Homo-oligomer: A and B are copies of this chain.
Amino acid sequence: MATNDEHPASLVLAVSTVIFALRPSTRTGKMSLHIPVVRRIREPYEGLWALPGGPLGMQEDLGESARRHLLSTTHLDPTYLEQLYAFGDRDRSRTNGIARGDRVVSIVYWALVRSGPGAVEYSGIVRPADEVVPGDDNVVWIDADELPELAFDHTEIVAYALWRLRTKLEYSRIAHSFLGEMFTLAQLREVHEAVLRRELDPANFRRMIEATGSVEPTGTLLQGTPHRPPKLYRYVENPAESTPGQTPHPTPATKERS
Which residues does A use to contact B, with CB under 8 Å?
Answer: 7-8, 11, 13, 56, 58-62, 83, 85-90, 103, 105, 107, 156, 159-160, 163, 167, 247, 249-253
Contacts and interface: CB of A to CB of B under 8 A. Distances in A.
Identify the 10 closest CB pairs spanning chains A and B, nearest first.
A86-B86, A62-B88, A61-B89, A86-B107, A160-B250, A163-B250, A159-B250, A61-B90, A160-B252, A163-B249
A157 to B, nearest CB: 8
Most buried by B among A13, A86, A156: A86
A85 B250 CA distance: 12
A58 B11 contact: yes
Given A58-B8, A103-B58, A85 B156 contact: no
A56 B12 CA distance: 12
Nearest to A92: B61
Contact of A86 (B83, B89, B167): B83
A167 B249 contact: yes
B56 A11 contact: yes
A89 B103 contact: no
10 contacts: A7-B59, A59-B90, A60-B90, A62-B86, A62-B88, A85-B252, A86-B107, A89-B253, A156-B252, A159-B250
Contacts of A89: 61-62, 253
A163 B60 CA distance: 27
Contacts of A11: 13, 56, 58
A58 B7 CA distance: 8
B59 A88 contact: no
Nearest to A85: B252
Contacts of A8: 58
Contacts of A251: 160, 163
Nearest to A153: B252
A176 B10 CA distance: 40
Given A11-B13, A13-B11, A13-B13, A252 B87 contact: yes
Contacts of A58: 7-8, 11, 103
A94 to B, nearest CB: 12
Contacts of A249: 163, 167
A31 to B, nearest CB: 23
